[in-house]
Amino acid sequence: MQITYPKSFLKLLLIGFALVILPLIAAFVNANLQFNKLTQQSLFNMSQAVETTRASQIMLEELAVMERSARQYFVLRDQVLLSNFNQAHERLGAALNILLLQPIALPQHTDLMSFTRQENDLFQSITQAQHNKADFDDSMVLNFATLTNLANQISTSNNALIDQEAVTFKVRVSKVKKALFWQMLTIFPLVLIIAALITWMIARPIRRMDAAINQLGQGDYEHVIHINGPGDLRQLGSRLDWLRIALKDLHQQKQRFLQQASHELKTPLTAIREASELLHDGVAGNLNTQQNQIVTILRDSSLRLQRMIENLLKYTEIQFNAAKSNVSQQALNVVIQKVLQAYALTIAHKNIDVQQSIPDMQVQLDIEKLSTVLDNLISNAVKYTPEHGKISIHATRTKNDLEIAIKDNGPGIPDANQKDLFSPFYHGEQASDSLVASSGLGLFIAKEAASALQGELRYITSDAGAHFLVRIPLSSMQPNHEQPTEVTNR
């Protein structure tokens, strides 16, 4: 999947941060607006409730003052009482005006207007009676009683309206809380998805770059390095691919140099070996003891040098021809015996007990590569097994694999050397006591040959000696007998 990235890694980070933070900011702003609205509504409702309750209370109190002042005035004819009556009337009118202005009292508008008209009529009748020197009659008593009942009814209705407004506000608060909850429930998964997507977009080219670096570190120079990401990372990927090409060319030059140098060294080395063998066999005449020692040193050193050159040739061949396969069919026991035959003199000289448990079976694979694996392992076992020691070669057939275990009772491999045991040109801390060949290529060649067979070579930690296990998948097997053949060579 091709993804379009911004031109720089920093811009990708800023875009990712913005995409993650914007939904949270939007949710925060929306929540703040909702809380502000609720706060304003709460203050407004509280103000209405206070004003309405206060006005209702004043209306009842002033109506009672008017009735009391009127009754007393018509008995005592005191102007102070008449003034109290008029002031109470004014305060009652102000309270009615306040009630009429409150939105919460809108359903009470008809009753308030009726109360206002009746109160004004009563005020006018009492004022007229005061001018006519009349008495406080029963109609006035009845009118005050009617107004008192109506005032109580208005006050009760106002309280009910206040309670209803409180319930409505509570329902609104509940709806806002529910809406904010669902908003958060939607925002957080969205933010997590965006964050995961941005993280994936950031981590993807970084992981690809890490894989490319590991690829170069493992010597894989065949696969083109292409990194899809921000512009600066794509440029870095192009530079890594340039480095891959340069390393590939350098690696090929090194392989060609090793191959050519090995071939060039092999020709004069063959002449040196033949000459040393002729001298050792006395063809040029009998040698004294000192001369014989010198010739022996020359012959042994030429053999050692030949072994190193052969390892170099195998190393270059493995590097170039790992993918090539020359499949043939042969008995497994025959393959192992051919390898052992090359070391028969050393085995007999050191009186080594070679114990074998090999199934009588046919194997169909690249025999040369299998022989390379076995040759390196057996040569190491023979080299480091002490005199009168023991080497065990045990082969078993599983459902799809052939497993060959080679074990000796030599000094083994120190724990410090096991990590880089299969690295090329590695000698370990005590090369003379380890199973690593003097050139440092033997086990590396064996492992590469096993890998070329789509198998594996592992070192198994044991109490004594060295223990190697080769596991190779078999494309075809034709065993003649299921029972293993027991062979012991001394």
Q: Residue 278: give its domain's CATH number.
A: 1.10.287.130
287, part of any domain: yes
Does pLDDT of 482 surpass 50?
no
Residue 429 is predicted with a pLDDT of 52
Q: What is the pLDDT of residues 137-176, one digit of tens each?
A: 888 889 889 999 999 998 899 889 888 888 998 999 999 8
Residues 24 and 153 in one domain: yes
208, part of any domain: no
207, part of any domain: no
Query: Percent helix, strand and coil across the chain, each rounded to 5?
Result: 70, 10, 20
Average pLDDT estimate for 29-57: 89
Q: What is the pLDDT of residues 217-271, one digit of tens each?
A: 877 788 888 888 777 878 888 888 898 899 888 877 877 776 677 667 767 777 8
Residues 361 and 261 in one domain: no
Query: What percent of the chain clears pLDDT 70, i.e. is strictly above it?
Result: 88
Higher pLDDT pick, 479 / 390: 390
Residues 313 and 334 in one domain: no
8 A C-beta contact, residue 400 and residue 455: no
8 A C-beta contact, residue 464 and residue 409: yes
Residue 476 is predicted with a pLDDT of 41
What is the three-class DSSP state of 341?
A: helix
Residues 314 and 334 in one domain: no
Residue 489 is predicted with a pLDDT of 45
Query: Of 123-132, 274-283, 292-301, which has the strongest mean pLDDT?
Result: 123-132
Average pLDDT estimate for 303-320: 69
Q: How far apart are CA 38 and CA 165, in angstroms?
A: 13
462, part of any domain: yes
Residue 320 is predicted with a pLDDT of 58
Strand order in the sheet with 467-473: 456-459, 467-473, 401-408, 390-397, 353-359, 484-489
Does pLDDT of 478 surpass 50?
no
Q: What is the pLDDT of residues 197-224, one digit of tens each?
A: 888 888 888 888 888 888 888 777 888 8
Radius of gyration of the chain (CA): 54
292, part of any domain: yes
Residues 118 and 140 in one domain: yes
Number of H helices, E strands in the chain: 11, 8
Residue finishing a domain among 278, 295, 321: 321
Tokens for 171?
């329902």
Over the range 99-120, which residues count as b (16 or more CB within 10 Å of their CB) and which as e? beebebbeebeebbeebbeebe
Q: Is 126 exposed, middle or buried (0-12, 13-18, 19+ CB in 10 A)?
A: buried
> How confident is the prediction for the chain on average, in pLDDT?
82
Q: Which amino acid is at 167?
A: V
C-alpha distance from residue 153 to each of 60, 111, 141 (Å) = 11, 9, 18
Residues 192 and 236 in one domain: no
* Domain span holding position 21: 9-200
CATH (domain of 335): 3.30.565.10
What is the three-class DSSP state of 302?
A: helix
Residues 98 and 146 in one domain: yes
Residues 310 and 357 in one domain: no
Tokens for 412?
């083994």
Q: Is the full-model pTM beyond 0.75? A: no
Residue finishing a domain among 297, 321, 345: 321
Residues 338 and 309 in one domain: no
- Own/partner pairs for 408-411, CB < 8 Å, 24+ apart? 408/381, 408/384, 408/465, 408/466, 409/385, 409/464, 409/465, 410/381, 410/384, 410/385, 410/386, 410/435, 410/465, 410/466, 411/384, 411/465
Tell me which of 52-56, 68-72, 278-282, 338-342 is least confident.
278-282
Number of domains composing the chain:
3
Residue finishing a domain among 321, 355, 389: 321
Give the contacts of 24 (CB within 8 A, at least 6 positions apart). Answer: 187, 191
Tell me which of 53-67, 285-299, 304-318 is least confident.
304-318
Residues 308 and 336 in one domain: no
Does pLDDT of 431 surpass 50?
no
Residues 58 and 177 in one domain: yes
Angle of the 138-217 helix axis to the 231-280 helix axis, nearest 10: 30
Residues 140 and 262 in one domain: no
3, part of any domain: no
Q: How far apart are CA 458 and CA 403, in angstroms?
A: 11
| Gap between the terminal Cα atoms of the chain | 64
CATH (domain of 190): 1.20.1420
